[in-house]
Amino acid sequence: MRLALKKFRTIALCACLMLAALLLYSDHLRQRPATSLFHRVILQLTSPVQGGVRTLVHSTADLWQHYLWLVDTATENEILRRDNRRLQASLREFDEIRFENQRLKKLLDFREASSLKALPARVVAEDASSWFRTILIDKGSNDGVASGMPVVTAEGIVGRTFQISDHESRVLLVTDASSSIATTLQQSRSRGIARGHGSGLQLNYVERNTEVSVGELVITSGTGGVFPKGLAVGTVDQVEREEFGLFQRISMRPTVDLTRIEEILVLLRSEP
């Protein structure tokens, strides 16, 4: 500690002597225009110090200006990042609105083209259990919904209503094992019963000698008493003809992606 103080005292003493010499030299220059040998010696000794001080002052000023520039830049970057996050959120919101408008337009076009009395509704929940395949919609008996009404989208059949409250209804999806729909193969015009099977459908009671093609559309026949005729149910995914038996084994893929539905139409019954 004493060594450090002694060293600092020596440096301070040298600085004071140098400053006194500079002051003496400056005062002498004001009084005498000529430069003596003593003054020239002082000038030569202090010139490096003056240059170092000048360089230090300039460097400090440049460093300070650079620091201020960095602070301003950091502030501007933070403002730009905040504006960028806000704009990205707005763009995502606009995209969601655009996609929703596209879905609603398809539903509206379907309703106008089919001339069916339909009530639009939103999906508010899905059944997460493995026992039933259902969804919950935000329309109920106060809106005119009753049990057994068809539920559709522009792409085809979704299911039918089966549990109704005042403001909500539960819909049994076509892929539920207890669901059955009277159908017709669009090309061969053969009839069958589409039943829920896992995440897809099984088309039953199609005779063995009927020509069925993979990709063929299956539509409602209108004979089941629930769904109007001509609505898309699914497309043929696989056809198997066993060596014995009266009927074919036909697997179908629903025309509606039931994992992504958000808006639906409930087909209301016509008043007598």
Write down the domain spans for the chain: 2-61, 119-267
Do residues 252 and 202 make contact, with C-beta atoms less than 8 angstroms apart?
A: yes
Task: Kindly report each contact of residues 9-15 with a partner whose C-beta sits within 8 Å and lies 24 or more positions away, as own/partner.
Answer: none
Which residue carries 């403002």 as its tokens? 79
Neighbouring residues of 167: CB distance < 8 A, sequence distance ≥ 6: 138, 139, 140, 142, 143
Model pTM? 0.62
Q: Per-residue pLDDT tens for 70-88?
A: 777 777 777 777 777 777 7
Q: Per-residue pLDDT tens for 116-172?
A: 788 889 999 988 565 678 999 999 999 999 999 999 988 899 999 999 999 999 999
Domain 119-267 has CATH 3.40.50.20: no
Neighbouring residues of 53: CB distance < 8 A, sequence distance ≥ 6: none
Residue 253 confidence (pLDDT): 94
Residue 243 confidence (pLDDT): 74
Q: Report the 10 Å Cβ neighbour count for 159.
A: 28
Residue 203 confidence (pLDDT): 93
